[in-house]
Amino acid sequence: MDRTSGIQIALKKCYGKGMKTFYDCLPCFVAQAVAALERCGLDEPSFQETMRAVFGELARVDFAAPPPATVRNLYRLIRQATGTTDPYAAEKRQSNRLARALAEKFKGKIEASGDSFTARLKLALAANSIDYGRYGRLQEEDVLEAMETALAAPLDADAATALRRAVAEADRILYLCDNAGEIVFDRLLIEVLPREKITAVVRGMPVINDATLEDAQAVGLTEVVQVVGNGSDAPGTLLETCTPIFLERFAAADLVIAKGQGNFETLSETSGKPIFFLLKVKCPLIARDIGEPVGRLVVKRHFLPAAAPKP
């Protein structure tokens, strides 16, 4: 058996799948497809033809798989039908510019807070609002409001303390990023963490407005910490779609910090790996699963013991 096959087999044995897809997800899938196609400049007949293909794909949804698995299939279909590899390219550039301006604005407030770690953590959580995945629409004023209210937002102090302690005790940390723009505030948080321990991870190719290596370079994240792509085109971390190099890093990490709902959806039932999920709850299904209301900033520690090997 070669080294790559051994890593993949070990991961399949040790780590479970994420949350399941529910029928409530279907309208969101349709809305995401429509929003992406509207950015591709199709004429009406081509738009209609592609949407028929989208509905055909949705007729084959695997409800046992996490929602990002279906979104991955939809975006593959959209890329093939339209020839557009990154429908949200303009929005991602604008999100990065907006976030960089906001980060400069908040530096004084961070220092005045008296607790730089907690202030940066709250801002990184609130920046998870920079998300076109819910309905494909995002207003700049919504982002501004989310960031302006972040420092006063409630946060589980025990969970934040546990995160700080876990970071101090870990030797190899994977920081799984989520969206463009949001990664500016991930950088602010990472700057007060032991950077030599951390590898930041972005998507392997464009999907929705998720951050790629190009975005990480644009906001200077690559200047602060090592950044790698996971090789996948899913808006989450579907381990079976990631590269062997990423899988090796995941297997070796003794702590994973996972940003956003997509990473929660794909890793929430993972076993044998300590994970801290950092996100803003934006979906009633996530709210139900995570036990927090929509709108809440969440730090959630997750650890399921690895299943015992079968005799």
pLDDT at residue 1 in the model: 46
**Cβ proximity of 44 and 280 under 8 Å:** no
Please answer whether residues 286 and 29 qualify as being in contact, where contact means their C-beta atoms are separated by less than 8 angstroms: no
Question: Mean pLDDT of residues grouped by 10 in the chain (311 residues)?
Answer: 55 66 95 95 96 97 96 97 96 96 94 95 96 77 91 95 97 98 98 97 97 98 98 96 95 97 95 94 94 96 72 48
Q: Which residues of 202-239 are buried (b: 16+ CB within 10 A; e: fewer)?
A: bbbbbbbbbbbbbbbebbebeebbebbbbebbbbbbbb
Question: Could you tell me the pTM of the whole model?
Answer: 0.93
Domain ranges across the chain: 1-311
On whether the 1-311 domain is CATH 3.90.245.10, my answer is no
Given this model, what pLDDT does residue 135 score?
60
Torsion of CA 213, 218, 224, 225, to 10 degrees: 0
DSSP string for residues in 207-224: -TTB--HHHHHHTTGGGT
SS (H, E, C) 29-61: HHHHHHHHHHCCCCCHHHHHHHHHHHHHHHCCC
Among residues 231, 244, 254, the alpha carbon closest in space to that of 173 is found at 254
